Structure 1
């Protein structure tokens, strides 16, 4: 099955249909395809070279796509006039330097529907021309990642990050004035055991104390972003989703990222159309879980005029202070996430009775005048003839009356008019009649005569 004439120039055209259908095809799949279709065996190096050539036939060569970058950027601006695309090359040699893309839909969606939180991260893409992908990713209302902008540079350094952030600030406005919160890779330093570091390493404790607490402690975070995230997981999810484009030519990679963002937006819109209620699915699920925990907390109103301040207790010693008007809780979960905590939910569902009623100030309503009737007042209504007088009592079900004398149905013995003899009567009743019982001797003589 091994054939020396099966070179990569001969194998690559055979793999083109497979690559067009499945762009991320692996070498093992291509090897199995050639064996089953053409009965040809190849070594791993031959499969890799032939597969690379097949990709070049389908997508074009890398240097050809670099030459078309200006045309690609111009086409994006024509189709998305409010998008931001900046391409920089070296002054004299015109070599590619960096390219920044912020699509209009991504920009407007972030400003109108996402939390003011931005994750910054870089991703190294291997290939013949090594490059770095710098990205700014936020979080939408359903706790999923939302891509704002991305940038392709040759190397990740301070200069390229400053250029990327300057372009991002021009698109989003004043980052400080709008209260945007940034998360970068630096917070990973605190993933070491914080408590053990403070106890065992005094230098580490001093270094950590020199950094303001609102930069690394969740309890001291700013409450503007309404997010409890302390990691750059949103960027990691985005980088993992576009990992299959890392070895592609630059325009193919840009198009793959853009199409992925578009498909994700379409899926999100379909999910919103199916959802019921004003809240997103993940937020509603979180509220349902918190509502189940809220039953263990007992709210106590503090008698404030706004009827908004409560002290919530849970045996034996747990206590929290809740202010419904200011939307705050001493646990700070409500302030940091924007979602009511279990303590606040217990107060929202609390009903304290008449002391929460608002006084209208009108004259009090008097009871109506009642004319008293003689006798004991009747509390039960009069029932119609068709109704049972006592429906709660079981009645005996009896058939029609039967005469014990003549054995006929429809009358009793007392009203029986049948003409029967004494013997028949006695036999019928099987009892001694009162007139047949001897009372005294006089009666016997009378009977004998």
Structure 2
């Protein structure tokens, strides 16, 4: 039990060798696996026992962090007390997100590897240092339009989102998600992760560096005219490649058509990818052990951010933003500003384009 508690993913070959050295006896692989399974049950408890304690866990979360929302859904077709799904948003995360983060939320799904499987839906924001900021999660049996709709509806109510056109969501176009968004957030801006879009682009037969570079040039264009020129360059490479985007409006994947409400020009859903990668150790646990692990992860992450902020964050700009600004400043050598008054400038660039800049805005 002590060995499994300290290292749940320990290699079975090495574990078997250690056991045989300890007891001076040959043991089979099946004996080792049965011993690990029994030790895991003793450490974490039986799955059926943990599901029975879900309601106690929800009450404890609400008691220890007042204002937190934990919603448990049951399967009424079989037994009204049979667990079916769970939504959780800690009050500290909700207040932190609404107080200091942009109106940008990435949503994603990952599969659970515990004894009963299922999926974990997550909503992750972006903090002022461009790091991921977890908001809410849900545990479901499967991924569908109905389960996504249930999760998004609770998220909308929890964050008190009324003017959904001011919000931006990013996803990988998961199963049933597009329809759920159209029902729950009909006015919200929706972006598609460019990595996922590029994967579909390659699947359609457009492989190679030329197509990849052409796609990224279109996606990183910041004006409509520049986007049109880059799409023309893609059409010169292969007209069918440009035609592939006819049913994929640029408002979903190009900066040139993004709204400014979210103040965020992200093209990749890295916030969710990073979150899913950080919780790998939790995804193979039994449900209650997994939830407790996640709560501890949220607490630790927030405190680490506080410590870093006190130690490293100085002035108006945070470390990553300051570095981003410095990199952009290094690229402006070929641009010429013409001052109109104390706050307005006209900027002429090396490619012949001109822009107006309002420092107040």
What is the CA–CA distance in structure 2 between the aligned matches of 1:216 and 1:298, rounded to whole Å? 27
**Larger fraction in helix:** 2
Pick one of 320, 324, 336 that aligns with 2:358: 324
Partner residue, 1:261? 298
Q: Which has the higher contact order (CA 8 A, sep 6+)?
A: 2
User: Given the alignment of the two structures, is residue 46 of structure 1 paired with residue 80 of structure 2, yes or no?
Assistant: no
Q: Compared with structure 1, are the counterparts of its residues 300 and 18 closer, same or farther at alpha carbon in structure 2 (3 Å cutoff)?
A: closer
Q: CA separation of 1:246/1:205 partners in 2, compared to 1, >3 Å: closer, same or farther?
A: same
**Partner residue of 2:53 out of 61, 68, 71:** 68
The Cα shift of 1:272 comes to: 0.4
C-alpha displacement of 1:289: 2.5
| Residue aligned with 1:238, SS | helix
Q: Which residue is 2:182 aligned to?
A: none
Q: 2:22 — aligned with what?
A: 37
In the alignment, which residue of structure 1 is the partner of 2:131? 144
Report the CA distance shift for 1:163/1:255 in structure 2 as closer, same or farther (over 3 A). Answer: same
Name the CA distance, whole Å, in 2 between partners of 1:39 and 1:242.
38
Asked whether the equivalents of residues 134 and 153 of structure 1 are also in contact (C-alpha less than 8 Å), the reply is yes
Matched, 1:241 2:274: no
SS at match of 1:244: helix
1:21 match = 6
Deviation at 1:29, TM superposition (A): 4.3
**For residues 234 and 349 of structure 2, what CA distance do their matches in structure 1 show?**
34
Kindly state the Cα deviation for residue 174 of structure 1 after the two structures are TM-superposed.
1.9
Distance 1:286 1:149 in 2: 28
Structure 2 distance, partners of 1:229, 1:189, is 14
Which of 292, 308, 315 in structure 1 is aligned with 2:344? 308
The correspondence for 1:101, drawn from 79, 88, 94, is 88
Alignment of 1:361-380 (within 5 A): none
- How many positions carry a matched residue from both structures? 307
Aligned partners of 1:183 and 1:165: how far apart in 2?
13
SS in 2 for 1:98: strand
Q: Is the 8 A contact 2:343 2:360 kept in 1?
A: no
Residue 205 of structure 1: CA displacement?
A: 4.8
Pairwise CA RMSD of aligned residues?
2.4
CA distance in 2: counterparts of 1:47 and 1:201, whole angstroms:
60
Task: Say which SS state the counterpart of residue 138 (structure 1) adopts.
Answer: strand
**C-alpha separation between the residues in 2 aligned to 1:242 and 1:307?**
46
* Structure 2 equivalent of residue 180 of structure 1: 167
1:277 corresponding residue in structure 2 = 314
Please give the per-residue CA displacement for 1:10-55, whole angstroms capped at 9, x wherever unaligned: xxxxxx0112233443324423432443344444333222212111
Q: Which runs of 5+ in 1 are unaligned?
A: 1-15, 328-449
Residues 117, 141 of structure 2: 8 Å contact kept: yes
* Structure 2 gaps, min length 5: 174-191, 202-210, 216-230
Q: 1:393-412 residue pairs with structure 2 within 5 A?
A: none
Larger Rg: 1
* 2:197 aligned residue (177, 189, 204): 189
Check whether the contact 2:106–2:170 (CA below 8 A) recurs between aligned residues: yes
Change (3 A) 1:230 1:42: farther
Q: Of the candidates 325, 328, 331, which is equivalent to residue 287 of structure 1?
A: 325
Q: For residue 208 of structure 1, give the secondary structure of its aligned residue in structure 2.
A: coil
Deviates more, 1:318-327 or 1:76-85: 318-327
The CA deviation at 1:217 is 1.5
Q: 1:197 to 1:322 in 2, by over 3 A?
A: closer
Aligned to 1:126: 113
Distance 1:38 1:176 in 2: 67
1:175 CA drift (Å): 5.3
CA-CA distance at 1:131 after TM superposition: 0.9
Distance 2:152 2:327 in 1: 39
Instruction: Say if 1:190 and 1:216, in contact at 8 Å, map to a contact too.
Output: no
Match of 1:378 in 2: none
Deviation (angstroms), 1:276: 4.3
